[in-house]
């Protein structure tokens, strides 16, 4: 996998942008985008950069563990902030602007943590591809003056994957991720129990080798599984085993989405 001249130019713009910030706290989830951003920011700023990871029921525990491992491996100072989105007013009711509510609460907390450590700016890992979907959380970032260096450098998801591969980051081909709250239909109450059910269900699919997938939850007991179209036949062949394990978690009904995995499928009703 090669890196194009345009991608190298974007990385140089990214480095220059980060350098001009002087100090930076990267909201670090361990995903493709924030891992690459954390790596470059640390290379540019050294100890004037920190990774800040939010830990709560909305973020898979496996992701949190991988984020901690990466920071230790790279020598990046990591701060773990305990957050509870369910206590943020309006979040658990799951309105269409849930992401705005959530990011406002979490990034306000992260900004406060960064300020206490003498770090002037906070950044997230959004890229230019994120502008194409319904993402109310971007408005929250704008209002809080959260920096988005990857977007400022004009980077797409594919740019980030290619450059991550060149830097030897194992996340270069990691599946796209999103917080567990995105698995619920708008208007349906989010609880810690439901978040746990979804996390355990997706881990079951991961253990079967499904890479890019989601378990969407409808009501109190229906799971809608999304896998990539080329994996639908394999999912169907495993249906009895998977249904049995999902029922142990608490699901009564287990369905397969025939359209397969797609970003933001819960936004189709808006």
Q: Please give the pLDDT value at position 79.
A: 94
Q: Please give the pLDDT value at position 269.
A: 60
Domain ranges in the chain with CATH number 3.30.300: 180-269
Q: How far apart are CA 160 and CA 171, in angstroms?
A: 10
Q: Please give the pLDDT value at position 76.
A: 97
Nearest to 56 by CA among 114, 103, 124, 115: 103
* Confidence (pTM): 0.90
- CB of 141 within 8 A of CB of 126? yes
Q: Please give the pLDDT value at position 178.
A: 84
Q: Please give the pLDDT value at position 1.
A: 65
Domain ranges in the chain with CATH number 3.40.50.620: 5-173
Per-residue pLDDT of the chain (270 residues; tens, 9 = 90+): 689 999 999 999 999 999 999 999 999 999 999 999 999 999 999 999 999 998 888 888 888 889 999 999 999 999 999 988 999 999 999 999 999 999 999 999 999 999 999 999 999 999 999 887 677 888 999 999 999 999 999 999 999 999 999 999 999 999 888 889 999 989 999 999 999 999 999 999 999 999 999 999 999 999 999 999 999 999 999 999 999 999 999 999 999 999 999 876 666 665
Assigned CATH topology for domain 5-173 = Rossmann fold (3.40.50)
Assigned CATH topology for domain 180-269 = GMP Synthetase; Chain A, domain 3 (3.30.300)
């Amino acid at each position: 996998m090669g890196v194009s001249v345009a991608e190298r130019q974007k990385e140089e713009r990214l480095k220059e942008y980060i350098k001009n910030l002087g100090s930076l706290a990267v909201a670090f989830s361990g995903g493709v985008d924030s891992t690459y951003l954390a790596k470059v920011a640390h290379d540019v700023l050294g100890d004037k950069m920190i990774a800040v990871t939010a830990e709560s029921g909305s973020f898979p525990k496996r992701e949190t563990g991988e984020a901690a491992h990466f920071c230790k491996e790279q020598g990046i100072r990591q701060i773990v902030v305990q957050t509870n989105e369910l206590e943020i007013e309006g979040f658990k009711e799951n309105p269409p602007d849930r992401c705005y509510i959530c990011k406002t609460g979490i990034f306000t907390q992260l900004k406060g943590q960064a300020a206490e450590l003498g770090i002037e700016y906070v950044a997230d890992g959004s890229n230019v591809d994120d502008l194409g979907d319904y993402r109310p959380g971007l408005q929250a970032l704008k209002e809080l003056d959260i920096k988005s260096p990857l977007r400022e450098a004009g980077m797409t998801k594919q740019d980030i994957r290619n450059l991550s591969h060149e830097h030897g980051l194992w996340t270069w081909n990691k599946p796209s991720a999103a917080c567990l709250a995105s698995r619920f239909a708008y208007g349906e109450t989010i609880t810690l129990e439901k978040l746990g059910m979804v996390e355990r269900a997706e881990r079951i699919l991961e253990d079967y080798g499904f890479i890019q997938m989601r378990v969407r939850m409808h009501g109190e007991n229906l799971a809608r599984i999304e896998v990539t179209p080329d994996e639908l036949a394999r999912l169907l062949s495993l249906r009895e085993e998977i249904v049995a394990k999902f029922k142990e978690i608490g699901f009564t009904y287990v369905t397969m989405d025939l359209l397969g995995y797609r970003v933001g499928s819960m936004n189709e009703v808006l």
